[in-house]
């Protein structure tokens, strides 16, 4: 029976390094294994990073760069520099000449591939397309959010405050478009890479209030600093008898 090894690691702890290490070990065991290794990640950015890292490290081995991977592979398979160089060249050459089978993809693309392979068995047309109607999902979610306003006083207070701020800023109080825009962030890769702790904090009213207070303080302090700079500039302009025509474009911007 094959062995299952699970690695648990937080962000920035070297997951890509460890996965690259394991991938290279398999390749040096059998140069053709890249055709049979299932490597999936959550985001497109991570897939490109993983593939680039593997190719880059193979190139380092070919150029005799002293990297941790060189020592790891040599210790694993008890091979010298010449044998390592020969093997790395073979592996990299096979991958580059058969690049379409060097697969590191996202989880969703993996499952889409499975669906496409079994379209007949599950009764789908051959030319089907997978679409994500994100606006429909958001519209439904926002509708439910509005429906829950009577039961959720915190949510109602937050939306009222949000509408009041928009009116003060001279904008329309209708905040649905703003919520839709904010909702689209949930579908982006940046949000998917957030740790669970951050998402929990976003749902915490006290945390949001403190965070909002800090942001407003930064905004107020920034405006004050700009005002001071502007007043100093006006004094300099007055002391040197400068006119608007003395400046770029000769007009007030």
Q: What is the pLDDT of residues 144-172, one digit of tens each?
A: 888 877 787 877 887 888 788 788 877 77
Rounded CA separation 196/188 (Å): 16
The reported pTM is 0.53
Angle subtended by helix axes 15-29 and 44-62, to nearest 10: 50
User: Which of 143, 173, 193 corresponds to the end of one domain?
Assistant: 193
Same domain? 158 vs 90: no
Contact in structure between 31 and 87 (CB atoms under 8 Å): yes
Regions of the chain with pLDDT less than 50: none
Contact in structure between 57 and 71 (CB atoms under 8 Å): no
7 part of a folded domain: no
Rounded CA separation 105/38 (Å): 9
Same domain? 141 vs 111: no
The residue among 70, 75, 41, 40 whose CA lies nearest residue 189 is 41
Token representation of residue 217: 């303080």
Same domain? 44 vs 107: yes
Place of tokens 């579908």: 187
Range of the structural domain that residue 149 is part of:
132-193
Question: Taking the chain, what is the end-to-end CA distance rounded to the nearest angstrom?
Answer: 74
5 part of a folded domain: no
The residue among 149, 139, 153 whose CA lies nearest residue 183 is 139
CB atoms within 10 A of CB 87: 19
249 part of a folded domain: yes
CA 84 to chain centre: 35
**Confidence (pLDDT) at 89:** 94
Same domain? 19 vs 92: yes
**Confidence (pLDDT) at 196:** 61
**Confidence (pLDDT) at 202:** 63
| Residues 6+ away with beta carbon under 8 Å from 49 | 16
127 part of a folded domain: no
Phi–psi pair at 106, nearest 5 degrees: -85, 160
The residue among 99, 101, 81, 79 whose CA lies nearest residue 28 is 79
Same domain? 185 vs 209: no
Query: For the chain, what is the domain count?
Result: 3
**Confidence (pLDDT) at 251:** 65
- The predicted-structure confidence for 185-203, as pLDDT tens digits, reads as follows 777 766 666 656 666 666 6
pLDDT above 70 covers a percentage of the chain that reads 86
**Confidence (pLDDT) at 56:** 93
């Amino acid at each position: 029976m094959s062995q299952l090894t699970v690695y648990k690691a937080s962000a920035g702890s070297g997951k890509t390094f460890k996965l690259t290490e394991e991938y290279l070990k398999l390749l040096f065991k059998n140069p053709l294994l890249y055709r049979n290794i299932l490597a999936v990640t959550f985001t497109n950015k991570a897939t490109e990073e993983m593939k680039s890292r593997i190719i880059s490290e193979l190139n380092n081995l070919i150029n005799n760069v002293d990297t941790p991977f060189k020592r790891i592979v040599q210790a694993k398979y008890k091979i010298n520099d010449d044998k390592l160089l020969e093997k790395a060249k073979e592996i990299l050459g096979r991958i580059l000449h058969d690049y379409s089978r060097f697969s590191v993809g996202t989880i969703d693309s993996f499952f889409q591939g499975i669906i496409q392979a079994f379209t007949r068995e599950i009764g789908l047309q051959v030319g089907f397309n997978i679409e994500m109607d994100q606006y429909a999902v958001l519209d439904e979610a926002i509708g439910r959010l509005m429906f829950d306003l009577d039961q959720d006083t915190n949510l109602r207070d937050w939306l009222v405050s949000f509408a009041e701020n928009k009116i003060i800023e001279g904008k329309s109080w209708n905040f649905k478009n703003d919520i839709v825009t904010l909702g689209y962030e949930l579908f982006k890769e940046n949000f998917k890479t957030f740790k669970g702790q951050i998402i929990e904090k976003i749902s915490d009213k006290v945390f949001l209030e403190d965070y909002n207070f800090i942001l407003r303080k930064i905004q107020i302090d920034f405006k004050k600093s700009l005002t001071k700079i502007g007043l100093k500039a006006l004094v300099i302009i007055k002391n040197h008898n400068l006119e608007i025509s003395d400046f770029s474009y000769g007009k007030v911007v």
